[in-house]
Amino acid sequence: MLLGVVIASSCSTKRKTTERKVTVCHDTLDASNISFPEGKYYTFRFDEASGSAGIVPDKLLKSLSENGINWEQAWYKSPARMCVPPGSDMGMMVIVEPAFVLKTNGKQHDLSAYGLIETSAPHLGECAFRVQHFQRKIE
């Protein structure tokens, strides 16, 4: 069950084939109390090079799709220097570490080439108030 408040939402078609259309829906939510549904999860391994700037989740998800990785959902929290809780106009000056969690269709994948490692306990870390949520829909 996914708990959160949706702030913005949009869907766009990323790729069309003769058999099916892949649509990626994107919204922003407060994921501070998120409960991840059962499944197989991977987290992005941020290093010094990518950590300060984060990643571009749209590009990563597109690359995964183009290479036959059947992901279902993804969550991305970008890095920041301030944490502002919802409904507050005051922020705490802290370093907010980025987080990226990917849920696949349950098949075993080696995603280390993408910087992703399997995890049994997906989490978004502290200050997960503005998280981008992606869903992949195949029609």
Local mean pLDDT, 10-residue blocks, the chain (139 residues): 41 45 72 85 81 78 90 92 86 89 85 92 90 84
**Reported pTM:** 0.78
Phi, psi of 61 (to 5 degrees): -65, -40
- pLDDT of amino acid 23: 65
d(CA 83, CA 69): 33
- Long-range CB contacts (within 8 A, 24+) of 122-125: 122/36, 122/41, 122/43, 123/99, 124/31, 124/34, 124/75, 124/77, 124/99, 125/77, 125/96, 125/97, 125/99
Top CATH class of 30-130 equals alpha beta
**Whose CA is closest to 102, among 85, 119, 82?**
119
Q: Domains of the chain: which residue ranges? A: 30-130
